[in-house]
Amino acid sequence: MKNLLKFVSILACAAALIVGWMCLHISCSKKENQILLKVGKEAERSQFFKEYFELENVIAIQTTDEFLMADGIKRVLFYKDKLVILDTQSAIWVIDYVTGKVDSYINRTGQGPGESRHIIDICLDEQTGTILAFNDYNNLLFFDLKGNCIRQEKCKKLYENVIYDDGSVLFYNHGIGYSCYPIISKNLI
């Protein structure tokens, strides 16, 4: 009886591996709906992307060895003629919306005032142009658009997201299976 159970369990594992391999192979090998775009010299034409995408506007962001946006973008905020971008490496970029040039770059790593190991989320006071950055030390950092740290406020807990709305800063977490009410801090700016 023990040998039969061993045989059945080995057979079930082998069948699961084969089915898993087949699913992976089939899903990775379908190419019927894929469109591959090669961007080369023809991308310099101003109409190139409009031939393939429905876009309102394309902004070519300045890139140099000093200003190279890493792995990806976590959040994009629009303010007048500026883009405020939080990348996945915790750097905040302020970019001129028209020219694509980097106006300022905020990446203060450390444990001192205005510094972080990781910026969790950002928001923007559109009245004053103040960038609010919530970091992993439970601090809400306030920066001007030039990247100068104005001040910081200590928060009681660690949150996933921060929103600024009409003089209030709302902190919240995405709960799994439950909802979480925002905590509102009045008049932090």
Residue bearing tokens 């923007």:
124
81 domain residue, yes or no: yes
Return per-residue pLDDT of the chain as tens, 189 residues: 555 555 545 555 454 556 554 555 454 444 555 555 555 555 555 556 666 666 566 677 777 776 666 678 889 999 999 999 998 888 999 999 888 888 998 998 888 888 899 999 999 999 999 999 999 998 999 999 999 999 999 888 888 888 888 888 888 877 643 444 555 555 555
Give the domain extent around 105. 41-186
Instruction: Please give the tally of structural domains in the chain.
Output: 1
80 domain residue, yes or no: yes
Pairing state between β 102-106 and 119-125:
unpaired
110 domain residue, yes or no: yes
21 domain residue, yes or no: no
103 domain residue, yes or no: yes
25 domain residue, yes or no: no
Give Cβ neighbours of residue 167 (< 8 Å, ≥ 6 apart): 186, 187, 189
Give Cβ neighbours of residue 60 (< 8 Å, ≥ 6 apart): 100
Question: Whole-prediction pTM value?
Answer: 0.65
Residue type, 53: F
- 117 neighbors 160 (Cβ within 8 angstroms): no
Give the domain CATH number at 172.
2.120.10.30
102 domain residue, yes or no: yes
7 domain residue, yes or no: no
Ramachandran category for residue 30: left, alpha or beta (phi over 0 → left; psi -120 to 50 → alpha): beta
